[in-house]
């Protein structure tokens, strides 16, 4: 699946997940709306009906008393009409799930309707005893009974309405809780999908960034964690990255071979030049006048510089090609330090620089190193220290044991190196901006060779410096080194 398709699927899935709680909430609202309508159409309508029925019974009582006093056909007609209206109300109770109350109210209304004609005739005859008896013993009890039944129905309706309202409240709470839970679950799922989607994109990007940084630092052996057989854009980038590292590796190998061959081929003409320069100095071709001596001195200096540069280039190319072999042997550490102290003592006196070698307690008497190579490293570091330290400064070589290894620190009070330049000082041909403080120009190869020699010994070299304060180079070497070649930077495998 391509990156674009993956993003589209991820976004659509997140959208569907987030819409789910909304759909659930709408469905719950529709259900609650239907229940509210049912409550209105049943319980509320039943309450109105019972109220009208109770008012009808009150009107029926007034119509019955009016008929007894007026004794007219009109009052009798009003009573009959009211009886019909109350009977209709009573019959309607059955539609609101009150069939028993409807039947009992109907029976009471029937009793009143049956007694009403006799009551009316007795009133017309002025037979108050019969009329009052019918009203007191038939109509009034029937009305009271009907009113009691209506009140019972109202109580039952209140109970039912309360139960329905509580049920609706429970459903509302459940709907709210369900909607919140669905929303939280949707957010969690959407977050997980977004995290996985972001991770599926960010991880290859970070890996590619690390790979490009490694390539920029010169590590052509970096292996991407992204499979090259992926079908998306990252797979294409991984294949392109592998092709690039292979081509860079081949170019680097060709460059190293070219430098090695060119340096080796330059040695012969340089040696010839230096031989003739030496013959001129010895006067084989006759004495030199003062002007020729100045020219000879310049030629000799430049030839020596060129020979040193070629030698350093050969060293670098040998180490990069794995041919810079070490020859470890037993070395008396104190003798090594004494020799260095003696060698640089004259230079320190000439340049008015305080130089000392500090030996800490616990140093091993004997170490197994390549003496010539370590002399080359320490000599290079001490030469740089003297080169960048002004008159009246100090250069120290401190040596101490550290966890089965030997730590050697070359410290000076010279010009120092800018912090942003420290990561590059061990690169070939790199020279910091402090060269104007040096007594002589360098080639930019000494520290690169020193690092390769230290790495070949299985040690580490680091630098700590502050501009205007000084520089400290730290070398950590194991006490015993086995015979080995320099660490060769591996080339990337072919795809």
pLDDT in tens, 409-457: 999 998 888 888 888 888 876 776 655 544 445 556 788 888 888 988 8
The predicted structure's pLDDT at residue 65: 86
Confidence of residue 231 (pLDDT cuts 50, 70, 90): confident
Domain assignment of residue 203, yes or no:
no
Query: Is pLDDT larger for residue 99 or for residue 462?
Result: 462
Alpha carbons 164 and 442: distance in angstroms, whole number? 97
Q: In terms of domains, do 375 and 396 share one?
A: yes
| Residue 210 falls inside a structural domain | no
Q: Which of 194, 224, 242 is the last residue of a domain?
A: 194
- Nearest-angstrom CA–CA distance, 262 and 272: 16
CA distance 208 to 214: 10
Residue 208 belongs to some domain of the structure: no
Rounded to the nearest angstrom, the gap between the alpha carbon of residue 227 and the centroid of all alpha carbons in its chain is: 22
- Average pLDDT in the 58-63 region? 88
Answer yes or no: is 485 within a domain: no
From 145-154, 391-400, 483-492, the region with the lowest mean pLDDT: 483-492
**Backbone φ, ψ for residue 339 (5° rounding):** -65, -40
Average model confidence (pLDDT) across the chain: 81
274 plus 298 within the same structural domain: yes
Q: Does the residue 225 lie in any domain?
A: no
Residue 127 lies in a domain: yes
> What is the CATH number for 293?
1.10.287.130
Question: Confidence band (pLDDT; 50, 70, 90) for 261?
Answer: low
Q: Which domain holds residue 434?
A: 329-478
487, pLDDT greater than 60:
no
15 by Cβ neighbours in 10 Å (0-12 / 13-18 / 19+) ranks as: exposed
Q: Per residue in 176-213, pLDDT tens?
A: 888 888 888 888 888 888 888 888 778 888 888 888 88
247 and 137 inside one domain? no
Instruction: Please give the DSSP secondary-structure letter assigned to residue 226.
Output: S
Average pLDDT for residues 389-411, to the nearest whole number? 93
CB of 124 closer than 8 Å to CB of 76: no
User: How many folded domains does the chain comprise?
Assistant: 3
**Residue 495: band (very low, low, confident or very high) from pLDDT cuts 50, 70, 90:** very low
Residues 147 and 57 reside in one and the same domain: yes
- Mean pLDDT comparison of 66-75, 178-187, 447-456, 469-478, highest-scoring range: 469-478
* Percent of the chain at pLDDT exceeding 70: 87
Using one digit for the tens of pLDDT, what is the confidence trace for 12-44?
A: 888 888 787 788 778 877 887 777 777 666 777
pLDDT at 195: 84
Give burial (CB, 10 Å; 0-12/13-18/19+) of 331. middle
Q: Which two tokens mark 18?
A: 């987030």
List, for residues 212-223, the tens digit of each pLDDT value. 888 876 677 778
Does residue 466 register a pLDDT over 60? yes
Where a domain ends, among 276, 291, 320?
320
Query: What is the percent of the chain where pLDDT is above 90?
Result: 14
What is the mean pLDDT of the segment spanning 467-477?
A: 92
Pair (334, 299) in one structural domain: no
Answer yes or no: do 16 and 123 share one domain.
Answer: yes
Exposure class string for 135-163: b at 16+ Cβ within 10 A, else e = beebbeebbeebbebbeebbebbeebbee
| Residue 359 burial (CB count, 10 A) | 15
CA separation (Å) from 441 to 136, 180, 343, 369, 378? 138, 75, 21, 30, 19
Average pLDDT of the residues in 367-394: 90
DSSP letter for each residue of 398-467: EEEEETTEEEEEEEE-SS---GGGGGGTTSTT---GGGGGSSS---S-HHHHHHHHHHHTT-EEEEEEET
Residues 297 and 171 reside in one and the same domain: no
User: Are residues 119 and 45 part of one domain?
Assistant: yes
Give pLDDT, residue 489: 43
Nearest-angstrom CA–CA distance, 383 and 312: 15
Domain boundary residue among 298, 320, 342? Answer: 320
Place of tokens 């052996």: 221
- pLDDT above 90 for 405: yes
336 and 470 within one domain: yes
Task: Mean pLDDT check: name the lowest of 27-41, 85-99, 377-391.
Answer: 27-41
From CA 66, how far away is CA 325, in angstroms rounded? 136
Using one digit for the tens of pLDDT, what is the confidence trace for 279-338?
888 888 788 888 888 888 888 877 877 776 776 666 666 665 554 567 888 999 999 999
Contact 481, 458 (CB under 8 A): yes
Q: Are residues 104 and 61 in the same domain?
A: yes
Is residue 333 a contact partner of residue 367, using CB atoms and an 8 Å limit?
Answer: yes
Is 309 in the same domain as 350? Answer: no
Q: Is there a single domain that holds both residue 90 and residue 15?
A: yes
Q: How far is it, in rounded angstroms, from Cα 60 to Cα 64?
A: 6
Q: Is the pLDDT of residue 101 over 80?
A: yes
Residue 217 maps to a domain: no
| Over residues 383-394, mean pLDDT | 90
Residue 461: give its domain's CATH number: 3.30.565.10
What pLDDT, on the 0 to 100 scale, is given for residue 488? 43
């Amino acid at each position: 699946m391509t990156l674009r398709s993956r993003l589209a699927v991820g976004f659509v899935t997140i959208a569907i997940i987030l819409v789910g709680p909304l759909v659930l909430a709408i469905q719950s609202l529709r259900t609650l709306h239907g229940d509210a309508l049912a409550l209105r159409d049943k319980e509320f309508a039943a309450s109105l009906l019972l109220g009208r029925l109770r008012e009808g019974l009150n009107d029926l009582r007034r119509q019955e008393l009016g008929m007894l006093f007026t004794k007219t056909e009109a009052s009798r007609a009003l009573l009959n009409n009211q009886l019909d209206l109350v009977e209709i109300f009573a019959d309607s109770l059955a539609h609101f799930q009150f069939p028993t109350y409807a039947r009992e109210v109907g029976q009471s209304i029937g009793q009143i309707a049956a007694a009403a004609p006799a009551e009316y005739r007795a009133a017309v005859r002025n037979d108050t005893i019969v009329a009052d008896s019918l009203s007191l013993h038939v109509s009034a009890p029937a009305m009271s009974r009907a009113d009691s039944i209506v009140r019972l129905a109202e109580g039952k309706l209140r109970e039912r309405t309360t139960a329905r309202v509580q049920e609706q409240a429970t459903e509302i709470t459940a709907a709210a809780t369900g909607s919140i839970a669905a929303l939280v679950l949707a957010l969690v799922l959407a977050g997980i999908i977004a995290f996985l989607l972001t991770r599926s994109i960010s991880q290859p990007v970070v890996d590619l960034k690390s790979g490009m940084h490694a390539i920029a630092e010169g590590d052509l052996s970096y292996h991407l964690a992204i499979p090259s057989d992926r079908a998306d854009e990252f797979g294409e980038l991984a294949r392109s990255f592998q092709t690039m590292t292979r081509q860079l590796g081949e170019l680097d190998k060709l460059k190293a071979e070219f430098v090695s061959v060119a340096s080796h081929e330059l040695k012969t003409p340089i040696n010839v030049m230096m031989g003739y320069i030496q013959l001129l100095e010895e006067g084989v071709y006759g004495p030199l006048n003062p002007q020729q001596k100045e020219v000879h001195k310049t030629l000799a200096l430049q030839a020596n510089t060129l020979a040193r540069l070629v030698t350093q280039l050969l060293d670098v190319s040998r180490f990069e090609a794995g041919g810079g072999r070490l020859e470890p042997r037993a070395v008396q550490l104190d003798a090594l330090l004494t020799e260095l102290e003696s060698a640089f003592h004259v230079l320190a006196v000439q340049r008015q620089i305080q130089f000392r070698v500090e030996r800490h307690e616990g140093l091993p008497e004997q170490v197994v190193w390549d003496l010539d190579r370590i002399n080359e490293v320490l000599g290079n570091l001490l030469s740089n220290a003297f080169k960048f330290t002004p008159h009246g400064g100090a250069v120290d070589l401190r040596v101490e044991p550290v966890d089965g290894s030997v730590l050697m620190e070359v410290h000076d009070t010279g010009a120092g190196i800018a912090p942003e330049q420290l990561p590059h000082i061990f690169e070939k041909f790199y020279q910091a901006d402090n060269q104007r403080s040096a007594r002589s120009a360098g080639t930019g190869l000494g520290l690169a060779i020193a690092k390769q020699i230290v790495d070949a010994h299985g040690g580490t070299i680091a630098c700590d410096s502050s501009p205007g304060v000084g520089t400290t180079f730290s070398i950590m070497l194991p006490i015993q080194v086995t015979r080995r070649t320099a660490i060769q930077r591996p080339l990337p495998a072919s795809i």
